[in-house]
Amino acid sequence: MTINSPARPRPRLLLIALAYLGFVSLGLPDAVIGVAWPTVRDTFSLSQSAIGMIFVASGIGYCFSSILAGKLTEDLGIGLLLAGSTGLVATALFGFACSPWWFLFVAFAVFHGLGSGAIDSGLNGYAAHYMSAQHMNWLHACYCLGAMLGPLLMTAVLTSGRSYSAGYLTVGTVMLLLSLMFLATRPQWGTASATAASTELRISAIRAIRNPTVLLQVILFFCYTGLEATFSQWTFTVLTESRGMTPGPAGISVGVFWASIGTGRIIFGLIADQVGIDRLLRFSILGVIVGALLFAAPWGAEAAFMGLILAGFGLAPVFPCLMTRTPQRLGGALSAHAVGFQMGAAMIGVAVIPGTLGLISTRYGLHAVPIGTIVLSVALWLLHEFLTRQPNQGGTPPSEQAAAAIH
Asked if residue 307 has pLDDT above 70, the reply is yes
Residues 278 and 138 both lie in one domain: no
Q: What is the pTM of this model?
A: 0.71
Confidence of residue 2 (pLDDT cuts 50, 70, 90): very low
Residue 257 lies in a domain: yes
Measured N-to-C along each axis, helices 212-241 and 51-76 cross at an angle, to the nearest 10 degrees, of: 130
In a domain, 127, yes or no: yes
- For the cut 90, the answer to whether the pLDDT of residue 244 exceeds it is no
Number of structural domains, the chain?
Answer: 2
In tens, the pLDDT along 250-265 reads 988 988 998 899 899 8
| Domain span including residue 47 | 13-193
235 and 371 in a single domain? The answer is yes
Q: 399 and 375 in one domain?
A: yes
Q: What's 33's domain CATH number? A: 1.20.1250.20
Same domain, 149 and 236: no
Contacts of 71 (CB under 8 A, 6+ apart): none
Whether 198 maps to a domain, the answer reads no
HSE-up of residue 389 (Cα within 13 Å, Cβ side): 6
Question: Tens digits of per-residue pLDDT, 18-53?
Answer: 888 888 888 888 778 888 989 999 999 998 788 888
Q: What's the pLDDT tens digit per position in 123-176? A: 766 765 566 556 767 788 888 888 888 888 999 999 999 999 999 999 999 999
The number of beta carbons lying within 10 Å of the beta carbon of residue 165 is 18
Does 238 lie in the same domain as 181? Answer: no
